[in-house]
Amino acid sequence: MTEREKTVRCIVSGRVQDVFYRATTADRARELDIRGWARNLADGTVEVVMCGTDASVATLCAWLWEGPPAARVTAVRVEEWSGTTGDGFGVR
C-alpha cells in the first residue's frame, strides 16, 4: 500500500528573504522527495508549496520553523492547497 499524498501551501514570516531560505528549503524538500516550489512574496514572506507523503510534508513543515542559520522565523501559516505542483522542487 502506498502512502497518501498531501499538498499544502505555507507562508513563512520573519527574516526569511536574502538568507538563502528558498535554496535551503529546496535542498531539504529534494531530500524528502517533495514536489513544489519556494518563492519570495512582495510582503517579505516566503511561500512554500509542497506535495509529498503525509510524513515528508510534516517533516518539511516542521523544518520551515528552523530554516537556514541566518533566518529568524516568526510564523509559519499552513493551509491546504488544491493546485498542481509539477515535477521536482524549484525556486521561483
Choosing from 4, 22, 30, 72, the catalytic residue is 22
Q: Is 22 a catalytic residue?
A: yes
Burial of 21 (0-12, 13-18, 19+ CB in 10 A): buried
- Is 40 assigned a catalytic role? yes
Cα-trace Rg, the chain: 12
Contact present, 39 and 92 (Cβ < 8 Å): yes
From the list 9, 40, 72, 92, the catalytic residue is 40
Active site residue ranges: 22, 40
